[in-house]
Amino acid sequence: MPTRKPNEEHTPTQNDASLLVQLYAIAQQERVARSFLWYYDWVGDVSDPKELKYDYFLKKHPRGSEGYFRWTAIASFFETVGVLVRNDTLSRSLVFDRWPVEWYWRYLAPLVKADRDKGLLCDTAYYADNFEWLATEATAWRAAGMAKADWKSGRKNAERVRR
Q: Can you give the C-alpha Rg of the chain in angstroms?
A: 16
What are the pLDDT digits (tens) for 12-56?
999 999 999 999 999 999 999 999 999 988 888 787 888 888 888
Give, in order, the Cα–Cα distances in Å from 38 to each of 3, 26, 67, 102: 32, 16, 8, 18
pLDDT higher than 50, residue 3 = yes
Domain for residue 27, yes or no? yes
Q: Taking Cα atoms as reference points, which of 149, 23, 28, 145 lies closest to residue 90?
A: 23
CA 95 to chain centre: 11
Confidence of residue 163 (pLDDT cuts 50, 70, 90): very low
Domain for residue 163, yes or no? no
Domain for residue 158, yes or no? no
Domain for residue 2, yes or no? no
Domain region containing 109: 14-150
What are the pLDDT digits (tens) for 93-139?
999 999 999 999 999 999 888 888 877 665 545 678 999 999 999 99
Domain for residue 159, yes or no? no
d(CA 83, CA 33): 20
CA 123 to chain centre: 15
Domain for residue 87, yes or no? yes
Determine the pLDDT at residue 17.
94
Q: How many domains does the chain have?
A: 1
